[in-house]
Structure 1
Amino acid sequence: MEYTELADYPLPAGVVTEWTPTAEEGDWTTDDRRLSYAHLEHARRAVEIGDDWHSEWIGTAFRIGHRLDRDAMATTLRRWYARHEAFRSALDHTRDVAEGEPAREDEFTRRIIAADKVDVAARRDAEPSSSTRVYLRVDHIFNTRINPLRWPHCLVVTVEPTDDAESFLLVFGADHTVMDAYTQVFAIKELTRLYEAALTGRDDSLGVFGSYLDFSHAERDHGSRLDRETAEVTRWAQFLSPRSDASCASQPDPMPAFPVAPDVDHDDVVAGATLPPYQSSLSRWLLDPEQTDRFNRACKALGANMQAGIHTALCIANQRVTGCSDLRFISPVHTRTELQWGEAAGWFVGLVPVHLRPGAADTFGAAIGPVAETSREHKELGTVPFHPIAELIGHRTPPQFVVSYIDLRGAEGADAWDEMDARVLRSATRSSDEVYFWINRINTGTNLSARFPSTHPGATRVHRFLRAFEQVLLEVVERGDTTFAEPQRTVGAGEPGSVGGA
């Protein structure tokens, strides 16, 4: 499953239909359940940005192998909204707070609407559009109409390809407050089954799950019990304390940023220069299925799993690029800790601080054990909300360097994703310094998606690091092990430096 921006998805030419949930104003009621910490912070940021809010969504694109039936699709989307209370909630901004003041609950009023009070309006084009015009249309809809302060929070567009009358593409975009990466993935199976059930009259065989609104309220109760002496708060404070150890010389800041060689200056921005508004983005396959299997078997032979192998390869890449083998980052993890949250739509994401320490190891095989151990050091912190901890310890810097590894092979329907042209999507992102790596293992191999600064030298550093990372993976695939030192390249005949060369 690739994780890309919409611009990188091969949208077909075809007839576009916009599907917009609708509701009567008088059917909404006030709801007293508290917002999750992430939801509250996200909404507060939307208030601060105001009319400049743009390109802040996540979504999914995939093909359904049936003709598009408008009645069946309308039924599908009504049922989708009915199944997830998060989709049927809205926020009203009711009061302002002083500049710099933390987000407060009483800034917003939450409203909800009953499942049977949501309808769906369809707007179908009379003529097909080119692939470019389809992209521009979908991108504009999602960029300008999806907002945490504006309902609906999830919009759907379908495209009936001009070259295939027996299938159609479904693309949806949503605000992050009602969706996370797992929701993006689960929706492929869910929407396909709902559509087929509406088309055929058969049962969809889908499970029923709880409400993200209930989870959010429970999370706030959890957060309210934290104080400065709570063990989880103390551990985060230690992780985010000023760095003095030489092993983290490439990442000196309390909140880990992307590593930089200690003797390299940080980015210098010329006064008055205009920075690119959006980050660079890439998605590429690191390993094919056979290479992935060989890498995994090498990790297993060393007594570890593939995640530990990926983390060890990151450490070796860091050593080769910056001279430091330790690596610090933030790892996002899901907080679906109870069965009732299993496939509920919502933002079920926690943060784990990670400090990988291979110690004195100088080979992949020797390092994978210590790296696996240190990667698990703070694992349980992912279920504790970070926002109240950040307030308690006075830390306002958001995550700067984020690394995610997920094995999605076990997800229901994963074996059909390639045939369905399925991809999870993200909008373009505005940030001058954040670096995010998403590494996904699926049936078709191991994929890397990344976003990072567009400016030099920031972008150059990321590309150099990723080249080193990919090289380490391939060395392990080839030999079952590798060294922290970059192997000497064998010079081919006729190349500069070879015997008899020019």
Structure 2
Amino acid sequence: MKFIQMMDQPVDPGGLVEWSPHTLGGFANWNSDPRPTSHNHELHLRGALEYRWRTQREGGRESWLGLAIEFDEPMSVPAIRTALTRWIDRHEVLRSHVIIKNTGMARLSTPPGSVALKMGRVRWYAEAGPLLDQLAGTFDRATAPLQWPAYLFATVARERTFTLLFAGDHSLLDGYSLILAQHELVELYRAARERREPELPPVGSYVDFSAEERRVADAADREHPAVVAWDNYLLATDRQMPRFATSGSAPGEGADAPPQPQSSVTMELLDDDAANRFTAVCSAAGGNLFAGILSALALAYREVGGGEEFRCITPRHTRSEGRWLGALGWFVAVSPLYLDTTGVVSFDQLIGRATAELRQARVAAGIPFLRVAGLLGYEGEPKFVVSFIDTRHAPNAAEADAGGARVLRSHSYSTDEVFIWVNRTPSGVRISARFPASGPAHGEVSRFLVTFGDIVRGIGDQSTFAPHNT
């Protein structure tokens, strides 16, 4: 399943309709909700408020994630409306809103069945380019985290096919949520078309999770293992977050340049057979695929002049209970990674170091980083992030990976962030990245990604692994 920047893959032209959630009477009929918000959500909202004050701009701050699902059949308007309203009823986070007040955060919620959809016909598009521009601009405006709804649906219908699109602010969801959502939305639509009940398991509420996570995190102190782990890591880096910085790209270069969208790449790194061969090498050395990816990144970083020490931040999911597995929400904490390639003479040796580091670093994701930062008096933010996820066991994974659906991300204007996503899918290993659009870092990151791909493919080619034929 592709994880791709919105503007990097066209949507086939057709008739565009926007589906806007609303409630009768607005917030006047919503309920005051005592459940506190998550630290992630609070940090995101405060950042959005600061952005509004500083720029006098509204909008989503280009921090949304989304989904595009392809249907090989004519669109049924009643079925789409039913599917989308049922999905909103299914996930409470889409029926809840947090407001920043002088006294702190205040939550409002509305019950299932209270959210309706307004159908707004935009126009018929004969070309993909203008349609994509319209969709991207609309999603940017519709996903502002300080408003409700901070999400929007759209459909592009043709005579025999249609595309369902969704975009939501990051505070409402994470990438894994959308990997699961494509199956939910397809099943809800088919159930509505066939006039039957959808075959979906019950899910928990991210609002409930947020309250529980907040309670646990607020009870933590400086002695909490996650705080200690972060403190030790930051002490070793002069209290600096990891950055992508090689001999040709100093940290922060280009920060004074006029803002422009970051460069973006998405590609298949390995097909399924090559991915299995590379994984076999990792397994033989006592590690897993993520350890192998991390090791290859460290070697590539060294080769392009980044030095022997490879440091980055990695997301870790916080879906610790079964009820959270299928829930829509931002179930993510982060931990710092450090991999020293000094004296490494074999890939197997580095795999061992990476495996140990992944195990040790997990403790740092025990509580949200905002709480950690508050306890440590720290104000830095992640700048170099490497994410890994295996989507092969998600419902409908093979169909989605074959082109039936793709996860979308908005563009970013950062001049110093480097984000890399590596996904193991049914078809192989895909990589997606965003990085500065100009300056020395642009060329250095590009060279780094090419070198990384060469290393991974080269190691896999040395494997004797072969699939069993039956």
- Fold conserved (TM > 0.5)? yes
The amino acid across from 2:184 in the alignment is: E
The amino acid across from 1:91 in the alignment is: V
Q: 2: CA distance between counterparts of 1:380 and 1:109?
A: 30
The amino acid across from 1:259 in the alignment is: A
Greater alpha carbon shift after TM alignment, 53-62 vs 183-192: 53-62
- The count of residues paired between Structure 1 and Structure 2 equals 457
The amino acid across from 2:180 in the alignment is: F
Q: Check the 8 A contact 1:359/1:370 in 2, yes or no.
A: no
Of 9, 28, 31, the residue aligned with 1:29 is 31
User: Matches of residues 256-271 of structure 1 in structure 2 within 5 Å?
Assistant: 256-261=242-247, 265-266=250-251, 268-269=253-254
Q: Does 1:392 align with 2:364?
A: no
Residue 359 of structure 1 deviates from its aligned partner by: 4.9
Partner of 2:174: 180
User: Does the residue aligned with 2:124 lie in a helix, a strand or coil?
Assistant: coil
TM (norm. structure 2) is 0.92
Cα distance, 1:300–1:199 mapped onto 2, change above 3 Å: same
Partner of 2:468: none
Cα distance, 1:253–1:468 mapped onto 2, change above 3 Å: farther
Partner of 1:255: 241
Q: Does 1:451 align with 2:434?
A: yes
The amino acid across from 2:174 in the alignment is: D
In structure 1, the gaps of 5 or more residues are: 96-105, 244-251, 482-502
Q: 2: CA distance between counterparts of 1:183 and 1:235?
A: 28
Q: 2: CA distance between counterparts of 1:107 and 1:133?
A: 42
Q: Check the 8 A contact 1:64/1:168 in 2, yes or no.
A: yes
Q: Does 1:56 align with 2:63?
A: yes
Q: Does 1:141 align with 2:127?
A: no
Q: Does 1:45 align with 2:14?
A: no
Partner of 2:467: none
Q: Does 1:152 align with 2:135?
A: no
Residue 232 of structure 1 deviates from its aligned partner by: 2.1
Q: 2: CA distance between counterparts of 1:173 and 1:349?
A: 18
Cα distance, 1:92–1:9 mapped onto 2, change above 3 Å: same
Residue 411 of structure 1 deviates from its aligned partner by: 1.0
Q: Check the 8 A contact 1:276/1:454 in 2, yes or no.
A: no
User: Does the residue aligned with 1:322 lie in a helix, a strand or coil?
Assistant: coil
The amino acid across from 1:156 in the alignment is: F
Q: Does 1:77 align with 2:84?
A: yes
Partner of 1:203: 197
Partner of 2:284: 301
Cα distance, 1:206–1:277 mapped onto 2, change above 3 Å: same
User: Does the residue aligned with 1:241 lie in a helix, a strand or coil?
Assistant: helix
Residue 116 of structure 1 deviates from its aligned partner by: 1.3
User: Does the residue aligned with 2:304 lie in a helix, a strand or coil?
Assistant: helix
Structure 1, residues 177-219: CA drift from partner, whole Å, max 9, x if none?
1111111111100000000111101231101111111111111
User: Matches of residues 323-362 of structure 1 in structure 2 within 5 Å?
Assistant: 324-362=307-345
Partner of 2:93: 86
In structure 2, the gaps of 5 or more residues are: 465-470
**Which structure is larger by alpha-carbon Rg, 1 or 2?**
1
Of 411, 421, 432, the residue aligned with 1:438 is 421
Of 189, 199, 210, the residue aligned with 1:216 is 210
Of 229, 232, 237, the residue aligned with 2:231 is 237
Q: Does 1:317 align with 2:300?
A: yes
Residue 230 of structure 1 deviates from its aligned partner by: 2.3
Partner of 1:496: none
Q: 2: CA distance between counterparts of 1:302 and 1:94?
A: 53
CA RMSD, Structure 1 to Structure 2 (Å): 2.0
Q: Check the 8 A contact 1:16/1:128 in 2, yes or no.
A: yes
Partner of 1:65: 72
User: Does the residue aligned with 2:165 lie in a helix, a strand or coil?
Assistant: strand
Partner of 1:429: 412
Residue 401 of structure 1 deviates from its aligned partner by: 0.7
Q: Check the 8 A contact 1:267/1:456 in 2, yes or no.
A: no
Partner of 2:16: 16
Of 263, 269, 275, the residue aligned with 1:292 is 275
Residue 128 of structure 1 deviates from its aligned partner by: 4.1
Cα distance, 1:116–1:395 mapped onto 2, change above 3 Å: same
The amino acid across from 1:234 in the alignment is: V
User: Does the residue aligned with 2:36 lie in a helix, a strand or coil?
Assistant: coil
Q: 2: CA distance between counterparts of 1:288 and 1:5?
A: 21
Runs of 4+ in 1 over 4 A off after TM superposition: 263-270
Q: 2: CA distance between counterparts of 1:167 and 1:139?
A: 21
Q: 2: CA distance between counterparts of 1:264 and 1:172?
A: 36
Q: 2: CA distance between counterparts of 1:378 and 1:303?
A: 18
Partner of 1:497: none
Cα distance, 1:269–1:349 mapped onto 2, change above 3 Å: closer
Q: Does 1:462 align with 2:459?
A: no
User: Does the residue aligned with 2:21 lie in a helix, a strand or coil?
Assistant: strand
Q: Check the 8 A contact 1:64/1:420 in 2, yes or no.
A: no
Paired-residue identity, %: 34
User: Does the residue aligned with 1:388 lie in a helix, a strand or coil?
Assistant: helix
Structure 1, residues 32-62: CA drift from partner, whole Å, max 9, x if none?
1111001111111111122424423110111
Cα distance, 1:145–1:466 mapped onto 2, change above 3 Å: same
Of 190, 194, 202, the residue aligned with 2:188 is 194
